Amino acid sequence: MSIPRSEHPRPEFERSNWMNLNGEWEFEVDADETGFEKRWTTGHDFSQKIVVPFCPESSLSGIGEKDFMESVWYRRFFDVPERWLEGRALLHFGAVDYQARVYVNSRQVGYHRGGYTPFTCDISDVVNTRENELVVWARDNCRSELQATGKQSHRLEPYRDYYTRVTGIWQTVWLESVPRVYIPFFHVITDPYNGKVFIRVHTKGQREKYDLSLAIWEGKLCVAEAEFSFYRSPAEITSIVPSPRAWSPEDPFLYGLKLRLADENGSVDAIESYLAFREIHTVGNRILFNNETRFLRFVLDQGYYPEGIYTAPSDEYLKRDIEIAKAMGFDGARLHQKIFEPRFLYWADRLGYLAAGEFPDLGVDLSRSCAREALLDEWIEVVRRDLNHPCIIMWTPFNERELGVGKPCTDFVRRVVHLTRLLDPTRPVIDSSGYTHVETDIYDIHDYEQNVESFRVHYASFESLLERAGRQDVSIDLRFETPSHVLRNAPYEGQPIIVSEYGGTWWRPEGTENGSWGYGGKPKSLEELISRYKALTESLISNPYVSGFSYTQLYDIERETNGLHTYDRKPKVDPEVVGNINKQEAALEVRYRRN
């Protein structure tokens, strides 16, 4: 069979020597969790076949089992080119939900906790050139309240806005050959105003001296080079690109980046990547993108697929979701309660699509210390994985948490915000999307009011709030300034305000499945649906004190039928009609337009 999802899984961190391990594996559900006692870590034939990287709940996996599977096993064999054994052989997993133990030729080579982040096993000391046995055990107890599950159902069946579960491997598995001294991670920061490029490079493997070089390419033209020697890791290298071309949704220009690490023994690690010149910050109640006031026209995207659940059937599917959103006039998405595949972020970088990176924290009981520890570890891995993608313009570690005095997780949320700023000082952080805030760079609001006049009134008083927020002798508590179901927040300090969930209007075209749901009363006609979308959206676009929106949502998911497209990505409304509404110049942009 052909290899599913055969493209390189990390285009922003690519080496030439790699091997995709997707395809048919052996598989077993360990219902009694006795696999270790039965010594399944080596030499045991499993009874089923599964197509990796699709989860066993999906039809594309060939399994299609929707019941709880708390313990599952995988097995396959692979060969390694002889030349790879001269350096280090790395085994990569894009994501395994939730805990994973990895065995190669009967020896444990790795353990990982966290269902959304990648991990790597160095298998150099256990592999041969021919027929290596790879066994993976995964445990996924989504009802434990100790692990992040996002929108995965904790009941047997999906219900309301909780969907089919995901167990085990759900992203690409691949092998990679690296030299004995190599680069496991690097961080790029760019300055679009002066053309400066700052790169911090981490190395693995001990040597007395390292030589590091970079080359930045504009198409086939090398526009900047730098090299130097260093003696410790991480190393820091800088360069300047003359007259840099800024990246934006209107002009998503990417520069090629090549990194080369060498040591005194001639070992060389070469990485192909890319970078973009763009910058985001806030000033008062405005979000500035490349120092221009920008109104965010976002849509909620939850990253689900009818046949693959969490995993897109093909790379083209990832690209298409961005294209259909842009065709409707959205310049970005709130990536809701899921860590998306790196290939999605790659296409967002390529196509000029902004993104709010959000952690799938639902399912975690933050009053339990072990749950907080696991979440924090995984969030650090999320930020490290994705911080070089120019498409991501803000971080959101939590969603709809009840925060405030006396709430058990309030201090923890604040600490995570502080840590996120330390990990990445270049992007604003939203502490917890919607409901309540304790320390946030952007005030975002969830408001599913369907009555247009009531919805507009919710935001009519923002002008006076902002004026008063600028006075040092005034503390504003939005809980007492607006309807309690819209804002229940800490004192407001004049940050940008975005309505990051609204609409969600229930619309189920004739002939689709019964039992569907959405927000508010179902419109009586398509014309009424468009009229409601237009009125709700224009009330935000026309408000000079609102900095953006995120409409719920791009497409239906299972029984939740409030998308602008069906679950199989057929438009419910004319994309051009929605695009004409979204593309209107926002009052905030007009107010601060540069002459």
Residue-by-residue DSSP string for 104-169: ETTEEEEEEE-SSS-EEEE-TTT--SS-EEEEEEEE--TTSSSS--TTB-SSSS-BTTBB----EE
Where are the chain's structural domains? 23-171, 182-275, 280-591
Of 466 and 496, the structure prediction assigns the larger pLDDT to 496
pLDDT at 487 > cutoff 80: no
Q: Given this model, what pLDDT does residue 474 score?
A: 42
- The residues near 439 (Cβ < 8 Å, ≥ 6 apart) are 413, 414, 417, 431, 490
Q: Please tell me the predicted confidence (pLDDT) of residue 266.
A: 75
Query: Rounded to whole angstroms, how far apart are CA atoms 414 and 361?
Result: 15
CB 588 within 8 A of CB 547: yes
What contacts 187, CB < 8 A, 6 or more positions away? 199, 200, 387, 388
φ, ψ at 49 (rounded to 5°)? -115, 140
How much is the pLDDT for 475?
44
Q: In what order do the strands lie in the sheet with 221-230?
A: 221-230, 210-218, 255-263, 268-275
Query: How confident is the model over 40-50, as a mean pLDDT?
Result: 98
Question: Which residues sit opposite 432 in a β-bridge?
Answer: 398
Which of these, 332, 462, 483, 490, lies nearest to 401 by C-alpha position? 490
Percent of the chain surpassing pLDDT 90:
85
Per-residue confidence (pLDDT) for residue 483, from 0 to 100:
45
- Residue 493: pLDDT band by 50, 70, 90 thresholds? confident
Burial of 312 (0-12, 13-18, 19+ CB in 10 A): buried
Looking at residue 287, its amino acid is I
Asked if the peptide bond before residue 553 counts as cis, ω within 30 degrees of 0, the response is: yes
Contacts of residue 431, Cβ cutoff 8 Å, sequence gap at least 6: 397, 398, 403, 413, 414, 416, 417, 437, 438, 439, 440
- Identify the CATH class of 182-275: mainly beta
Percent of the chain with pLDDT over 70: 93
pLDDT of residue 263: 80
Per CATH, the number for 23-171 is: 2.60.120.260
CATH code for the part of the protein at 280-591 = 3.20.20.80
Provide the whole-model pTM: 0.95
pLDDT digit string, tens, across residues 263-287: 877 778 999 999 999 999 999 999 9
Q: Are 536 and 452 in contact (CB under 8 A)?
A: yes
Q: What mean pLDDT, rounded, does the chain reach?
A: 93
Beta-bridge partner residues of 263? 210
Helix (H, G, I), strand (E, B) or coil at 479: helix
The owner of tokens 């948490």 is 401
Cα–Cα distances (Å) from 193 to 199, 220, 277, in that order, read 17, 23, 9
Provide the 8-state DSSP code for 585.
Answer: P
Burial (CB count within 10 angstroms: exposed 0-12, middle 13-18, buried 19+), residue 219: exposed
Give the closest residue to 14 by CA, choosing from 257, 204, 213, 273. 273
State whether residue 527 is helix, strand or coil: helix
